[in-house]
Amino acid sequence: MKKTLIWILVIGVMAALIFMVWYRSVSKHDDPLDSKDKVILTAEELFKLYQTNEDSANKLYLDKTISITGSIKGIELNDNRYTITFNTTDSNGAVICEMDTMENIRLKTLQPNANVNVVGFCNGFLMDVQLDRCKLAK
Protein backbone atom coordinates (compact mmCIF):
# COMPACT_ATOMS: atom_id res chain seq x y z
CA MET A 1 0.00 0.00 0.00
CA LYS A 2 2.78 2.38 0.94
CA LYS A 3 4.68 1.53 -2.26
CA THR A 4 1.53 2.20 -4.32
CA LEU A 5 1.08 5.62 -2.75
CA ILE A 6 4.71 6.49 -3.44
CA TRP A 7 4.35 5.47 -7.09
CA ILE A 8 1.15 7.54 -7.44
CA LEU A 9 2.98 10.53 -5.98
CA VAL A 10 5.99 10.11 -8.29
CA ILE A 11 3.80 9.73 -11.40
CA GLY A 12 1.72 12.73 -10.35
CA VAL A 13 4.81 14.94 -9.91
CA MET A 14 6.24 13.78 -13.27
CA ALA A 15 2.93 14.44 -15.03
CA ALA A 16 2.81 17.93 -13.52
CA LEU A 17 6.39 18.65 -14.64
CA ILE A 18 5.70 17.41 -18.18
CA PHE A 19 2.57 19.59 -18.36
CA MET A 20 4.52 22.66 -17.17
CA VAL A 21 7.24 22.14 -19.79
CA TRP A 22 4.61 21.64 -22.53
CA TYR A 23 2.58 24.68 -21.47
CA ARG A 24 5.66 26.93 -21.44
CA SER A 25 6.69 25.63 -24.86
CA VAL A 26 3.34 26.52 -26.46
CA SER A 27 3.06 29.75 -24.46
CA LYS A 28 6.21 31.50 -25.58
CA HIS A 29 6.07 33.36 -28.85
CA ASP A 30 7.52 31.65 -31.94
CA ASP A 31 11.01 32.87 -32.86
CA PRO A 32 10.94 34.11 -36.50
CA LEU A 33 14.63 33.23 -36.88
CA ASP A 34 13.73 29.55 -36.32
CA SER A 35 11.25 29.49 -39.20
CA LYS A 36 12.22 27.21 -42.06
CA ASP A 37 9.70 28.85 -44.43
CA LYS A 38 10.96 32.43 -44.52
CA VAL A 39 9.96 34.54 -47.50
CA ILE A 40 12.92 36.68 -48.57
CA LEU A 41 12.11 40.14 -49.93
CA THR A 42 13.41 43.68 -49.95
CA ALA A 43 11.29 46.27 -48.15
CA GLU A 44 10.59 47.92 -51.49
CA GLU A 45 9.37 44.64 -53.03
CA LEU A 46 7.05 43.84 -50.12
CA PHE A 47 5.58 47.33 -50.04
CA LYS A 48 4.98 47.41 -53.81
CA LEU A 49 3.26 44.01 -53.71
CA TYR A 50 0.85 45.22 -51.04
CA GLN A 51 0.33 48.57 -52.70
CA THR A 52 -0.51 46.90 -56.04
CA ASN A 53 -2.95 44.30 -54.71
CA GLU A 54 -3.55 43.99 -50.99
CA ASP A 55 -5.79 40.90 -51.21
CA SER A 56 -3.26 38.99 -53.29
CA ALA A 57 -0.41 40.04 -51.04
CA ASN A 58 -2.34 38.94 -47.95
CA LYS A 59 -2.88 35.49 -49.48
CA LEU A 60 0.87 35.20 -49.94
CA TYR A 61 2.29 36.93 -46.88
CA LEU A 62 -0.27 37.40 -44.08
CA ASP A 63 1.01 35.68 -40.94
CA LYS A 64 4.08 34.43 -42.79
CA THR A 65 7.67 34.85 -41.66
CA ILE A 66 9.30 37.50 -43.81
CA SER A 67 13.03 38.23 -44.06
CA ILE A 68 13.26 41.90 -45.02
CA THR A 69 16.33 43.76 -46.24
CA GLY A 70 16.55 47.46 -46.81
CA SER A 71 17.80 50.77 -45.55
CA ILE A 72 16.48 52.29 -42.35
CA LYS A 73 14.29 55.37 -42.63
CA GLY A 74 13.88 55.72 -38.89
CA ILE A 75 14.16 53.98 -35.54
CA GLU A 76 11.79 54.85 -32.70
CA LEU A 77 11.75 53.71 -29.09
CA ASN A 78 8.37 53.71 -27.28
CA ASP A 79 7.64 51.94 -23.99
CA ASN A 80 10.94 50.03 -24.17
CA ARG A 81 10.13 48.71 -27.66
CA TYR A 82 11.94 49.65 -30.88
CA THR A 83 10.22 50.06 -34.24
CA ILE A 84 12.27 50.14 -37.45
CA THR A 85 10.78 51.89 -40.46
CA PHE A 86 12.29 50.87 -43.79
CA ASN A 87 12.68 53.23 -46.72
CA THR A 88 10.55 52.73 -49.82
CA THR A 89 10.35 54.86 -52.96
CA ASP A 90 6.81 55.88 -51.90
CA SER A 91 7.08 58.71 -49.37
CA ASN A 92 3.57 57.97 -48.05
CA GLY A 93 4.17 54.36 -47.06
CA ALA A 94 6.80 52.10 -45.60
CA VAL A 95 7.50 48.71 -44.09
CA ILE A 96 7.32 48.94 -40.31
CA CYS A 97 8.91 46.30 -38.11
CA GLU A 98 8.08 46.25 -34.40
CA MET A 99 11.12 44.66 -32.82
CA ASP A 100 11.27 42.02 -30.12
CA THR A 101 12.46 43.64 -26.88
CA MET A 102 15.21 40.99 -26.65
CA GLU A 103 16.93 42.92 -29.48
CA ASN A 104 17.09 46.25 -27.61
CA ILE A 105 20.81 46.13 -26.87
CA ARG A 106 21.71 45.38 -30.51
CA LEU A 107 19.30 48.03 -31.78
CA LYS A 108 20.81 50.86 -29.75
CA THR A 109 23.69 51.27 -32.21
CA LEU A 110 21.62 51.24 -35.42
CA GLN A 111 21.35 54.50 -37.33
CA PRO A 112 19.08 55.76 -40.13
CA ASN A 113 20.27 54.86 -43.64
CA ALA A 114 22.02 51.73 -42.39
CA ASN A 115 21.22 48.56 -44.37
CA VAL A 116 19.77 45.82 -42.22
CA ASN A 117 18.11 42.42 -42.48
CA VAL A 118 15.15 41.90 -40.18
CA VAL A 119 12.96 38.80 -39.80
CA GLY A 120 9.39 39.01 -38.47
CA PHE A 121 5.74 38.06 -38.91
CA CYS A 122 3.55 39.92 -41.41
CA ASN A 123 0.32 41.35 -39.96
CA GLY A 124 -0.94 43.00 -43.14
CA PHE A 125 -1.23 46.44 -44.66
CA LEU A 126 -2.59 49.67 -43.18
CA MET A 127 -0.91 52.53 -45.11
CA ASP A 128 2.29 50.63 -44.27
CA VAL A 129 3.15 46.95 -44.26
CA GLN A 130 3.27 45.96 -40.58
CA LEU A 131 5.51 43.23 -39.20
CA ASP A 132 5.92 42.34 -35.55
CA ARG A 133 8.00 40.18 -33.20
CA CYS A 134 10.91 41.08 -35.46
CA LYS A 135 14.52 40.16 -34.86
CA LEU A 136 17.76 41.16 -36.53
CA ALA A 137 19.01 38.39 -38.80
CA LYS A 138 22.13 36.73 -37.49
Partner 1 sequence: MLIAFTAYNINAQQYFTKTGTIKFYSHTDLEDIKAENRKVVSVLDSKTGALEFSLLMKGFDFTNDFMETHFNESYVESSKYPKASFKGTVTDIATVDFSKDGSYKVNYKGKLTIKDVTKDITGTAVIVIKGGKVTATSALKIKPSDYNIDIPATAAGKIAQEISVDIVMDYKKK
- Residue 19 CA to residue 9 CA, distance in Å, equals 15
- Residue 85 CA to residue 70 CA, distance in Å, equals 10
What letter would DSSP give residue 35? Answer: -
- Residue 42 CA to residue 71 CA, distance in Å, equals 9
The nearer residue to partner 1, 92 or 109, going by C-beta atoms, is 92
The nearer residue to partner 1, 13 or 76, going by C-beta atoms, is 76
The nearer residue to partner 1, 42 or 123, going by C-beta atoms, is 123
Nearest distance from residue 66's CB to partner 1, in Å? 13
Binding site for partner 1 (CB under 8 A): 26-30, 58, 62-63, 78-79, 81, 83, 92, 96, 98, 121, 123-128, 130, 132
- Residue 133 CA to residue 29 CA, distance in Å, equals 8
Nearest distance from residue 29's CB to partner 1, in Å? 5
Nearest distance from residue 91's CB to partner 1, in Å? 8
Inter-residue contact 124 to 109 (CB < 8 Å): no
Nearest distance from residue 131's CB to partner 1, in Å? 10
Phi-psi region of 5 (alpha: psi -120 to 50; beta: other; left: phi over 0): alpha
